[in-house]
Amino acid sequence: MSARIAGFGATALAALALLALVPRLGNAYYLALAISLLQYTVLATAWGMFSGPTRYVSLATTAFFGVGAYTVAVLGEILPWPLVLLTAAALGAIVAGIVGLSTLRLSGVYFVIFTFGLTELIRQLVVWFEVNKSRVLGRYVFVNITQADIYWQLLVLTAAVFLLGWLIARSRLGFALRVIGEDETVAKHCGINTTFAKVALFTISATVMTLVGAIMAPRWTYIEPSIAFNSMISFQVLIMALLGGAHRLWGPVLGAVPLTLLFELLSARFPNTFTIILGCIFLLIVYMLPRGVAGLFEKLSTTAGGKPTQRVAA
Amino acid sequence: MAPVDAPWEEKMMTFLTRRTALLAAATCAATLGLTAIAEAQTSIKIGYAISRTGPNTGGAAVTTIPNYELWVKEVNAAGGIKLGDKRVPIEVVQYDDRSNAEEAVRALERLINQDKVDFILPPWGTGLNLAVGPTLNREGYPHLAATAVTDRAPELAKRWPNSFWLLGTSADAAKSLVELLNKLRDEKKIGDTVAMVSIADGFGIDLSSAARPALTNAKFKLAYDKSYPIGTQDLAPIVNEIKALNPDVFIAFSYPPDTLALTEQSRIAGLNPKVFYTGVGTAFPLYKQKFGKNTEGVMGIGGWSGDSPAIKDYLARHKAAANGAEPDRWASAVTYASLQMLQQAIERVGKIDRAAVIMDLQTGTFDTVIGKVKLENNMPTRYWWVGQWQDGEFYGIAPAKNEGARAAIVPKPAWVAP
C-alpha cells in the first residue's frame, strides 16, 4: 500500500515538474490556455471537495472567486503580494465561515438558491460600498506579476488542493462527510457533529476558490463588480465537476480539462454559434453521462474487459 | 578556422571557400526571405474579438461592429491597404469575447500567437479595453481604444505607449458640461438650480464625482443628487421628486436603458427644465426613433459636427452598408476615424512594421471623418462632450471652441404628445 502511495507520489511530482515547464514553451497562447485549464481544475476540484461527499450543490463559486479578485483590486498596490494572497484567503475563509454557519442547516434546493443569491448579495454590497463610500467603481490592478507567475501560482495551488483533498478523504472529517452525504440523520445519530464537519469543509473549499480569484485578478488590469462577480463561473464549474464526477477527488479534473478545451475550440471555430452548440453538448452530457466521466471509468473497470453497458453506448 | 599548421595557400583557400559559401548562403537566405515576405504580403491579417453575446452586445452592435465591417468592406473594395506601391486586401479573423475580460484576453492571445494577425482592432467598452491593454502592450500591437472613457487615460498612455485613448476622460466631460451651464447662466438663459441623478456604475460614478465639485465651485445649487442601481425598472419616483423641486437643469449620467426610461418618464410627468441632459444612449439612433419630435432640445453626452460634409458622407455610407442602420453620434465616428488613422499610419510606413506604425500614430497628422486629428500624448486634443438634438440631428454644442459647434437651444421646447 505505502509503496503504491510512494509510486503515485513520485509520478505526481514528475508530472508537476513537467507542467512547471509550460511557460518555457514561449507561446503566450498555450500559456493562457494552460492558465485557464489550471484555473478550472482548481475551482472544480475545490467544488467537488465539498459538494461531492455532502451532495450540497453550491453556486457560490463566483462569490468567493470575486472576493479574491476584489481583495487584489483593493490591496494589490498597497501590500506585498504574499500578504495580499494571505488576506484574500483569510477573507474568503471568514465569509465562508459565516455563510456556512448560517446556511448549511438548509438543504436541497434551498441551499442552491441561497448560494446563488449570495453572489448577487456580495456583488451588491461591493457596489453599494464603492458608490457611496469610495466613490469609484472599477479599480485598476497594476502589480508586477507576469503570466508565468500566475501559472506557477495556480500550479502550486493545484498540487496543494489535491494533497489536501487526499488527506481529508483519509481523515475522520472525510469519513464524517461521506456519512452525511449518505444520510444526514443517521450521521447525527452516530454522534457526528454534522454542522462542524460541513462548515469546515465548506470553508476549506471556499478559501481555495478565493485564492484562485486573487491569483487570476492581475490578468485583467481592471476590475469592476460585473467582471469579478461573473456568475458564469459558478455554472461552468458546476458543469465541469458534474461531467467529471464529483464523488471522486480526481473526478472534476476529468470534466474541467475536456470542457475548457471544448470551450476554447468552440470559441475559436464557431464564435457565432458558440452558445447553441454548448447547450446541445450539455444536454448530451446529462443524458449520456449521469455519473460523469469518473462514473464511466468505474463502470468500465467493473465490467472488466466487457462491452460498455447499453446506456453508455446509446 | 583552418588548422594552424596547414600551408598558407591551403588556409587562404579554406578562407575563400568559407567566405564564398557564407556569401552564397546569405544571398540564398535573403532571396528566400524576400520571397517569404512577398508571399506574406498578399493580404493584411486583421483580427478582433468583439462582444457578440453578453451585456456588452448592445454597445458593440451599434458602435463598433458596423464600423469595423464598413471599413473592411470599403478598404477591400478599393483594392486594399497600400503597402509601398501595391495594394493588399484585408483578411479578417474575429472572435466573440462574450463580454468577458478573461475571454477577451485569451482571444487576443489566440489572434497574436495562433492566427498571427498583423494588426488588432480593440474590443468595445472601457472594461475590456483596459483588460486587453497589457497584452497588446507586451506584444507591441497598436491599441486604438475608441470606446473607452477613463480618467486614467493620460496615465495609461504613458504606461502603455502603444495605446491611444480617443474618447477622453470623464473629468473632461463633466467640466465641459459645467462650462456650458455656466455660460448659459451668464447669458441669463438659466437659473442656478441643478438636479443630478447618476447610475451606480462606472460611468455614472465617474461623471457625477467629477461634476459635483465642478458644479459647487461654479456656485450652482445642487438641489438633488442621487444615484440609482443598475437595472432599476421604475424611475418614476425619481422623476416626480425632481419635478417637485422645479430645477433649471436636469442632469442624468445614465446608461442606454435608463436614458430611455428617464426621458419617457419625464415626458409623462411633464418634467421639462430649461436644460434636459441625459447620458449614454442619447446619441443613439434608437433615441431618435423612439422619441421623434420630442428629442428636440434634449442634450446628451457626445455629439458630432453634423454640418460637416465628411460626417454627412460618413452617415450616408454607414446607412448604405448597414442596411439603413445609422451610427451613434458619439463613439461611432471616432471608431471609424481610428480605423482611418490606422490605415494611414500603415500606408505611410509602407510595410508591416508595428513599432513604426505606433510611432506614426503618436506623431502623425491624420485626415479623418472627424476632421484633422493630431494626437498629443496619445490622446486627441479635442472632443465633443455635449450634444443636442436639433431638428432630428444630434449636433455637438460643447466645447464651444470646437469647429462646427452649434449654439444651444435653451430653454428646451415643451414635450409634445407622441
- Distance separating alpha carbons of residues B46 and A301, to the nearest angstrom: 50
In a domain, A245, yes or no: no
Of B110, B113, B127, the CB nearest to A138: B127
Alpha helices in A55-139 (DSSP H): 61-75, 81-103, 109-129
In a domain, A198, yes or no: yes
Give one word for A104, left, alpha or beta, with left for phi > 0 and alpha for psi -120 to 50.
Answer: alpha
Of B101, B109, B202, the CB nearest to A28: B109
- State yes or no: pLDDT of A309 exceeds 50: no
Task: Tally Cβ neighbours within 10 Å of residue B178.
Answer: 23
Of B55, B95, B105, the CB nearest to A268: B95
Of A222, A227, A268, the CB nearest to B110: A268
The type of residue at A311 is R
pLDDT for the residue numbered A106: 76
- Under the banding of pLDDT at 50, 70 and 90, the label for residue A60 is very high
Contacts of B109 in chain A (CB under 8 A): 28-29, 31-32
Residue in B with minimal Cα distance to A221: B131
Percentage of residues in chain A with pLDDT exceeding 90?
33
Distance (Å) of CA A238 to CA A79, A243, B159: 33, 9, 39
Q: pLDDT digits over B357-408, tens only?
A: 999 999 999 999 999 999 999 999 989 999 999 999 999 999 999 988 999 9
In a domain, A149, yes or no: yes
Of A130, A222, A274, the CB nearest to B131: A222
- Distance separating alpha carbons of residues A213 and A66, to the nearest angstrom: 6
Element (H, E) at A217: none
Close Cβ partners of B121 (under 8 Å, ≥ 6 residues apart): B46, B47, B48, B68, B144, B339
Tell me if chain B has a CB within 8 Å of the CB of A146.
no
B106 with A36: Cβ contact below 8 A: yes
Stretch 242-261 of chain A: residues touching chain B, C-beta under 8 Å = none
pLDDT for the residue numbered B34: 46
Q: pLDDT digits over A238-253, tens only?
A: 888 888 888 888 889 9
In a domain, A125, yes or no: yes
Percentage of residues in chain A with pLDDT exceeding 70?
96
CA-based nearest distance A218→chain B, Å: 10
Write a three-state SS string for chain B.
Answer: CCCCCCCHHHHHHHHHHHHHHHHHHHHHHHHHHHHHHHHHCCCEEEEEEECCCCCCHHHHHHHHHHHHHHHHHHHHHCCCEEECCEEECEEEEEEECCCCHHHHHHHHHHHHHCCCCCEEECCCCHHHHHHHHHHHHHHCCCEEECCCCCCCHHHHHHHCCCEEECCCCHHHHHHHHHHHHHHHHHCCCCCCEEEEEEECCHHHHHHHHHHHHHHHHCCCEEEEEEEECCCCCCCHHHHHHHHHHCCCEEEEECCHHHHHHHHHHHHHHCCCCCEEEECCCCCCHHHHHHHHHHHCCCEEECCECCCCHHHHHHHHHHHHHCCCCCCCCCHHHHHHHHHHHHHHHHHHHCCCCHHHHHHHHHHCEEEECCEEEECECCECCCCCCEEEEECCEEEEEECCCCCCCCCCCCCCCCCCCC
Contact B122, B144 (CB under 8 A): yes
Contacts of B200 in chain A (CB under 8 A): 127-128, 131, 137
Kindly report the pTM of this predicted structure. 0.80
In a domain, A115, yes or no: yes
More confident call, B345 vs A312: B345
In a domain, A70, yes or no: yes
More confident call, B102 vs A44: A44
Close Cβ partners of B301 (under 8 Å, ≥ 6 residues apart): B173, B279, B280, B282, B283, B330, B385, B386, B387
Contacts of A124 in chain B (CB under 8 A): 229
Structural domain including A96 reads 2-234
CA-based nearest distance B13→chain A, Å: 42
Specify the number of domains making up chain A. 1
- Distance separating alpha carbons of residues B352 and B125, to the nearest angstrom: 27
CA-based nearest distance B124→chain A, Å: 14
C-alpha cell at B240: 416626480
- Distance separating alpha carbons of residues A110 and B95, to the nearest angstrom: 38
HSE-up of residue B16 (Cα within 13 Å, Cβ side)? 6
A127 with B227: Cβ contact below 8 A: no
- Distance separating alpha carbons of residues B296 and A207, to the nearest angstrom: 56
Tell me if chain B has a CB within 8 Å of the CB of A32.
yes
Contact A91, A85 (CB under 8 A): no
Give one word for B136, left, alpha or beta, with left for phi > 0 and alpha for psi -120 to 50.
Answer: alpha
Contact A138, B126 (CB under 8 A): yes
Tell me if chain A has a CB within 8 Å of the CB of B98.
yes
A140 with B98: Cβ contact below 8 A: no
Q: pLDDT digits over A249-285, tens only?
A: 888 999 899 999 988 888 888 877 777 887 888 788 7
pLDDT for the residue numbered A110: 87
pLDDT for the residue numbered B29: 47
Tell me if chain A has a CB within 8 Å of the CB of B126.
yes
pLDDT for the residue numbered A21: 84
A226 with B205: Cβ contact below 8 A: no
- State yes or no: pLDDT of A53 exceeds 90: no
B119-121/B44-50 β-pairing: parallel
Q: pLDDT digits over A136-192, tens only?
A: 777 888 888 888 999 999 999 999 999 999 999 889 888 888 888 888 888 888 888
A267 with B131: Cβ contact below 8 A: no
Q: pLDDT digits over B196-216, tens only?
A: 999 887 788 888 989 999 999
- Distance separating alpha carbons of residues A109 and A123, to the nearest angstrom: 22
In a domain, A77, yes or no: yes
Contact A199, A109 (CB under 8 A): no
- Distance separating alpha carbons of residues B242 and B250, to the nearest angstrom: 8
Tell me if chain A has a CB within 8 Å of the CB of B94.
yes
Residue in A with minimal Cα distance to B49: A271
Distance (Å) of CA A270 to CA A266, A267, A278, B89: 5, 6, 10, 24
- Under the banding of pLDDT at 50, 70 and 90, the label for residue A1 is low
Element (H, E) at A297: helix A292-302
pLDDT for the residue numbered A303: 66
- Distance separating alpha carbons of residues B167 and B122, to the nearest angstrom: 13
In a domain, A314, yes or no: no
Contacts of B206 in chain A (CB under 8 A): 136-138
Could you read off the pLDDT tens digit of each residue along chain B, which spans 418 residues? 344 444 444 444 444 455 554 454 454 444 444 444 444 578 999 999 999 887 788 889 999 999 999 999 999 999 999 998 899 999 999 998 888 888 898 899 999 999 999 999 999 988 889 889 988 998 999 999 999 988 889 999 999 999 999 999 988 999 999 999 999 999 999 999 999 999 887 788 888 989 999 999 999 999 999 999 877 889 999 999 999 999 999 999 998 889 999 999 999 999 999 999 999 999 999 999 999 999 999 999 999 999 999 999 999 999 999 888 999 999 999 999 999 999 999 999 999 999 999 999 999 999 999 999 999 999 999 899 999 999 999 999 999 999 889 999 999 999 998 7
Please report the ipTM that was assigned to this predicted complex. 0.75
